[in-house]
Amino acid sequence: MEQPNLSYINTLSGGDKEFETQLLDVVKKEFPTEKETYYKNLNNKNYKLAAENVHKLKHKISILGLSKSYDIAIDYENNLLDHNTDLKEEFDNILTVITNYLDKL
């Protein structure tokens, strides 16, 4: 599985370390809450809201340089809108990888 990285953030910042730190702080703050809300909605079988949660999480996935995972998130979001949980396991793995990565930063 691909691993999160700071390549996109570094490119976006143009070397501005303060900007990089601020962006990472936002990701670290928002990600756990968005993940928790996603799981709550999924467990309640509120697939439309879970899809909206995946949509928000998708941006964090992109920021962390996970292009293949981003594609999975797009497909999973569309699946959820059809009340289909195919790709749930793959998406859960992505969330775990991101959680572990952010915990180490």
Predicted confidence (pLDDT) per residue in 13-51, tens digit: 999 999 999 999 999 999 999 999 999 999 999 999 999
The structure's pTM equals 0.95
Domain coverage including residue 15: 7-104
Residue 2 placed within a domain = no
Residue 100 placed within a domain = yes
Residue 74 placed within a domain = yes
16: left (phi over 0), alpha (psi -120 to 50) or beta: beta
Residue 44 placed within a domain = yes
Residue 15 placed within a domain = yes
Residue 35 placed within a domain = yes
Q: Are 64 and 27 in contact (CB under 8 A)?
A: yes
Structural domain total, the chain: 1
Residue 1 placed within a domain = no
